[in-house]
């Protein structure tokens, strides 16, 4: 059986080593460990493998807190000390920047870290009725599978949400349409003393009066706010209680509060989102009278804090509903005069369409996983006075960040002044990061 020393972790949290001219990705192995491994998939240049035996363990290896780790596909790094996870993710970011984009930041920012457990304020649970497993299952998907994991708790969800797994199974088991309810979305807003937990039940058929009564009783017993969603995300409507207060989260550092619908995108980790905003504002350094673009602005998570410094913000977003939400949030916080929002497809940006928006002193870019390469290509060269003098780029994908920074650095003449990670998803391999780019 092959024996190897693990060299690093890849972007999925797998141990990486080399053996007989191939790259070997070993599930569950940590850097510095010596392991016996057993391949389960072989390709010409690489193999996927699992650990057969740990010959020498890493001092950073810990016992996973969750009993479903390795079975549930939600987490991949619970076997690594949470403090070490940030260092590993920083290495993943730096490797991606260099190997994908030939980019080396002038400064490496200290990682942004927070609690490792109970942090996840957004989640999407799958629901399946499986008679041979005793009825209804509620949870995340199994690792490397489309099946729903048979679980009764989750350590990365807040304790009061984790405690709902078994009651939810019991509730749905009693529904007449238990096989027509594939998903429950969770969204939490408010502060601890007035926390509002919303569950959105994706229900594909009409509920009976008995189903509705049981759902209302469940919400009342567990102090939940309930929505039902018969179709896409825009079909979600309040179910109980009626009327329902508005779901929102606050950013105390900037004195703003952002309302959102439970199916609209917000960051899952409220604590790290606040830390990320503090860093973004420090790097961007908004000044009164500056004209600043917030690209992929969503519901205004960055736009409103920028406006509190006296800058004029132009938020651009592809989803009309989010643009309207951002405008309402700006008005509700007394920032409407400093914020304007518009709908545009930033994945189809060119020099002409970008020029129509006017000149920006600075820019914040916060795209989805696909990145913002067309936007970066459309920007003027850094030597052009029309180019933003400073760009802060927030990313959830190191590979597309590296590609886009390569365009800004090697084609547009910008300098990558610094980059670092924010551990938005502890216990997982997800890497959130932030970079500062400036004219030379």
Q: Which residues are catalytic?
A: 396
Burial (CB < 10 A; 0-12, 13-18, 19+), residue 57, is middle
Tokens of 355: 């020029």
Q: Any binding-site annotation on 345?
A: yes
Residue 119 to residues 89, 123, 231, 267, 380, Cα–Cα distance (Å):
18, 11, 29, 11, 40
Count H helices and E strands in the chain, helices first: 10, 22
Q: How many CA atoms lie within 13 A of 278 on its CB side?
A: 12
How far is it between the farthest Cα atoms of the chain? 68
Residue 434 to residues 126, 229, 345, 411, Cα–Cα distance (Å):
31, 35, 23, 20
* 243 Cα distance to chain centroid: 30
Q: Which residues contact 134 (CB under 8 A, 6 or more apart)?
A: none
Q: Any binding-site annotation on 75?
A: yes
- Residue whose token pair is 């009164």: 288
Q: Any binding-site annotation on 267?
A: yes
Q: Any binding-site annotation on 297?
A: no
Burial (CB < 10 A; 0-12, 13-18, 19+), residue 45, is exposed
Q: Any binding-site annotation on 397?
A: no
Q: Any binding-site annotation on 301?
A: yes
Q: Any binding-site annotation on 376?
A: no
CA atoms of 307 and 295, how far apart (whole Å): 14
Contact yes or no for 140/161 (Cβ under 8 A)? no
Task: Please tell me whether residue 222 adopts helix, strand or coil conformation.
Answer: helix
Q: Any binding-site annotation on 296?
A: yes
Binding residues for S-adenosyl-L-methionine: 267, 296, 301, 317, 345, 366
Binding residues for [4Fe-4S] cluster: 66, 72, 75, 154
Binding residues: 66, 72, 75, 154, 267, 296, 301, 317, 345, 366
């Amino acid at each position: 059986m092959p024996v190897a020393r693990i060299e690093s972790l890849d972007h999925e949290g797998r141990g990486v080593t080399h053996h007989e001219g191939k790259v070997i990705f070993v599930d569950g192995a940590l850097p510095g460990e010596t392991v016996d491994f057993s391949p389960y998939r072989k390709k010409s240049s690489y193999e996927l493998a699992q650990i057969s035996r740990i010959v020498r363990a890493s001092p950073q290896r810990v016992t996973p807190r969750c009993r479903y780790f390795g079975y549930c596909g939600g987490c991949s790094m619970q076997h690594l000390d949470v403090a070490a996870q940030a260092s590993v993710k920083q290495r993943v970011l730096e490797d991606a920047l260099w190997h994908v984009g030939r980019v080396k930041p002038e400064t490496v920012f200290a990682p942004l870290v927070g609690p490792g457990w109970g942090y996840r304020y957004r989640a999407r649970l799958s629901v399946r009725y499986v008679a041979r497993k005793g009825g209804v299952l509620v949870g995340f998907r199994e690792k490397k599978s489309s099946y729903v994991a048979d679980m009764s708790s989750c350590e990365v969800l807040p304790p009061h949400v984790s405690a709902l797994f078994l009651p939810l199974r019991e509730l749905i088991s009693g529904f007449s349409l238990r096989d027509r309810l594939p998903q429950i979305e969770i969204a939490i807003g408010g502060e601890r003393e007035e926390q509002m937990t919303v569950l959105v039940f994706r229900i594909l058929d009409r509920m009976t009066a008995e189903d509705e009564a049981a759902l209302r009783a469940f919400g009342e017993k567990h102090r939940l706010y309930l929505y039902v969603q018969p179709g896409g995300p825009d079909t979600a409507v309040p179910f109980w209680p009626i009327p329902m207060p508005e779901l929102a989260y606050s950013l105390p550092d900037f004195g703003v509060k952002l309302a959102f619908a439970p199916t609209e995108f917000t960051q899952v980790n409220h604590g790290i989102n606040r830390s990320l905003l503090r860093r973004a504002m420090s790097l961007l350094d908004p000044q009164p009278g500056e004209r600043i673009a917030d690209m992929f602005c969503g519901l205004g998570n960055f736009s409103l804090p920028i406006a509190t410094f006296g800058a004029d913000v132009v938020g651009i977003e592809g989803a009309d509903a989010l643009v309207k939400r951002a405008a309402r949030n700006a008005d509700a916080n007394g920032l409407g005069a400093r914020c304007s929002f518009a709908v545009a497809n930033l994945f189809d940006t060119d020099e002409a369409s970008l020029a129509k928006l006017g000149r920006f002193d600075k820019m914040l870019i916060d795209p989805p996983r696909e990145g913002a390469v067309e936007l970066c290509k459309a920007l003027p060269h850094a030597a052009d006075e029309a180019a933003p003098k400073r760009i802060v780029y927030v990313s959830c994908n190191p590979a597309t960040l590296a590609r886009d920074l390569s365009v800004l650095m090697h084609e547009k003449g910008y300098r990558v002044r610094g980059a670092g990670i924010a551990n938005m998803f502890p216990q997982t391999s997800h890497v959130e990061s932030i970079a500062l780019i400036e004219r030379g």
